[in-house]
């Protein structure tokens, strides 16, 4: 489903007291500022782009709705906490590199995310759709990533 335009989102918010926020996916995931410009402060804006957490926060968004962080939340939480605490550019860049590693290797792949969950000893469950397991080389890279980030 495509994200509504900033103006249609604003109109819909005014017409419905039950619409509290929006997750921007695809191209609109990079347009948080445009949505924030036309929506009231109490309307929550999230991006579906896992890698843009600090940009989303800078543009007035609430954060990202991230598939990758379900398997490896630590880098995302550390980056968000550092951003909110006012960390410097060097620290944020180092933390962003950790997030970028996760996104590059896991996203968007349910099979890779499930493998990371299993490596962590967490239940990955079954999938409602066919999900292929990662190839052996990719699986080994995921195992190394998990070890590097969480021990």
Residue-wise pLDDT tens digits, 75-97: 999 999 999 999 999 999 999 99
Quick check: 19 pLDDT over 90? no
Handedness of CA 93, 109, 67, 122 (dihedral sign): negative
Q: What are phi and psi of 11, to 5 degrees?
A: -60, -45
Quick: pLDDT tens for 95-116.
999 999 999 999 989 999 999 9
Asked whether the predicted pLDDT for residue 26 surpasses 90, the reply is: no
Q: Which two tokens stand for residue 118?
A: 């299993």
pTM above 0.85, yes or no: yes
Integer Cα distance of 88 and 22 in angstroms: 29
pLDDT band at residue 8 using 50, 70 and 90 as cut-offs: confident
Residues linked to residue 45 through DSSP beta bridges, in sequence order = 22
Q: Which pair of tokens denotes residue 10?
A: 């604003």
CA quadruple 79, 51, 54, 17: dihedral positive or negative?
negative
Packed helices 89-106 and 73-84: angle between N→C axes, nearest 10 degrees: 160
Contact (CB, 8 A) for 68 and 102 = yes
Q: Compute the average pLDDT of residues 131-143.
A: 95
Rounded to whole angstroms, the Cα distance separating 58 from 83 reads 9
- Candidates 115, 122, 124, 123; CA nearest to 144 is 115
């Amino acid at each position: 489903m495509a994200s509504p335009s900033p103006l249609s989102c604003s109109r819909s918010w005014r017409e419905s007291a039950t619409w509290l926020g929006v997750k921007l996916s695809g191209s609109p995931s990079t347009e948080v500022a445009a949505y924030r410009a036309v929506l009231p402060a109490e309307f929550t804006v999230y991006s579906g782009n896992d890698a843009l957490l600090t940009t989303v926060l800078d543009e007035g968004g609430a954060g990202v709705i991230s598939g990758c962080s379900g398997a490896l939340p630590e880098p995302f939480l550390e980056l968000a906490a550092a951003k909110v605490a006012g960390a410097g550019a060097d620290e944020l860049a180092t933390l962003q590199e950790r997030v970028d590693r996760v996104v590059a290797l896991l996203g968007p792949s349910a099979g890779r995310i499930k493998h990371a969950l299993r490596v962590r000893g967490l239940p990955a469950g079954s999938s409602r759709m066919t999900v292929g397991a990662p190839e052996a080389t990719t699986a080994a890279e995921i195992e190394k990533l998990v070890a590097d980030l969480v021990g």
